Amino acid sequence: MTMPDALPLSDTAPLSADSRPAPAPAAPVVQDLHTIPRRPVQTGRINLVGLTRDQLRDALIAAGTPDRQARMRVGQIWQWIYHWGVRDFAGMTNLGKDYRALLAERFEIALPEVVTRQISDDGTRKYLLRIAGGHEVETVYIPEDSRGTLCVSSQVGCTLTCSFCHTGTQKLVRNLTAGEIVGQLMVARDDLGEWPQPGAPRDETRLVSNLVLMGMGEPLYNFDNVRDAMKVVMDGEGLSLSRRRITLSTSGVVPEIARTAQEIGCLLAVSFHATTDAVRDRLVPINKRWNIEELLASLREYPRLSNSERITFEYVMLDGVNDSDDDARRLVRLIQGIPAKINLIPFNEWPGAPYRRSSWDRIERFADIIYKAGYASPIRTPRGEDIMAACGQLKSATERGRKTQAQVAAEAGL
């Protein structure tokens, strides 16, 4: 587990409990606690979900599987769990009865518990999931005409304190395990009914066709678990999402960027958001540790190291803060030479947020300058705003240790 030991103190200092009442959570559009099966999370047995093939092999051998059979057993069990979506060892019909009983005694196939599911007017689905320890994280499914994207969380809360991000107002509670990260995809497939039916013709259209690590948390501060989870997700015998359909978004944890290229190889997005260190220090405080120049140097290397295409620069549009014509021109100069697309994100507001969204005219003008310089500059349509599911709006309402609005404003330099 990689923890942020290199962060400036202010990012990791304990926060005082909020003295004000928390803002009321958005009213759920649909909240069907009864139609979604609830699953126990802690049973004392080892959860197989999220183990890499090597870890699964070790676990099976430790449970008494003969060494010479272990490889074959891993392949069989892997297919049942990740291809067919089977949760009960009794259903693994190509394994002997006694072996199935042994597996059931020692292991489980457990997913996070679905607490609520909300469905937005635009079809976006937000799941509130409960994980071991009673913590909660959110996962969002965004259907589009040509694809369906699942936005998964990597941490409960976040150690970083980006001043425009709702998750950043909640302190880190813990890293998610690889199983909890993979489990978010499996929960969504359950809800969408996306497991193949034995004997049915193979359906090549996928409801969850893309995965983005853009939910709660900084994925590169939970590197090992994120990497192991992505290994499971990318495995061609199971969930089988290709590395080019996975995008990891980082606020700029420079030392882990090369490792992401080498050990995961997925697409990379970076929360850039400002064109001078002074402004980026305020918006994305990790910039005080690794500034724009250091960040850009690591990004220049990424496409070659990962053998992948362009990097996505995410740029949140904040009224009067980072949205001038000069900013657009500086941005183009800074990223020169990096194969890139710039994703403009209209700021999504949350209760007590210290910023306002730039006007549409301003966003379009900004996009135009970038486009004319030769870069794709799509404006990200906010999705699921009515259920607080849009970028940067996620936060588990139950977690303690919130920052006060005064703290949020102070960190934003207001």
Q: Structure tokens of 374?
A: 């030769």
Residue with Cβ nearer ligand SF4 (65 or 153): 153
Catalytic residue at 113? no
In the complex, residue closest to ligand SF4 by CB = 168
| Phi and psi based region of residue 352 (left: phi greater than 0; alpha: psi -120 to 50; beta: remaining) | left
4 binds ligand SF4 (CB under 6 A): no
Q: How many CB atoms lie within 10 A of CB 305?
A: 15
Helix axis angle for 53-62 and 67-78, nearest 10°, is: 130
* Residues of this chain that bind ligand SAH (CB under 6 A): 162, 164-166, 214, 218, 249-251, 271, 314, 316, 345, 347-348, 391-392
- Compute the distance between CA of residue 16 and CA of residue 401 in angstroms, rounded to an integer: 7
Question: Alpha-carbon distance 236 to 247, whole Å?
Answer: 18
Burial class of 345 by CB neighbour count within 10 A (0 to 12, 13 to 18, 19+)? buried
* Residue span binding ligand SF4 (CB under 6 A) among the ranges 21-29, 113-121, 162-170, 260-268: 162-170
Instruction: Tell which one of 7, 51, 114, 160 touches ligand SF4 (CB under 6 A).
Output: 160
Q: Does 162 bind ligand SF4 (CB under 6 A)?
A: yes
389 binds ligand SF4 (CB under 6 A): no
Residue 381 CB, nearest approach to ligand SF4 (Å): 19
Nearer CB in complex with ligand SF4: 130/395: 395
Binding mask 229-258 for ligand SF4 (x = CB under 6 A): ----------------------x-------
The closest alpha carbon to 247, from 212, 272, 209, belongs to: 212
105 given a catalytic annotation: no
List the one residue out of 155, 160, 36 whose CA is nearest residue 399: 155
340 binds, among ligand SF4, ligand SAH, none (CB under 5 to 8 A by kind): none
Considering CB under 6 A, how many residues would be counted as binding ligand SF4? 10
Return residues touching ligand SF4 (CB under 6 A).
158, 160, 162, 165, 167-168, 217-218, 251, 271
Residues belonging to the active site: 138, 391
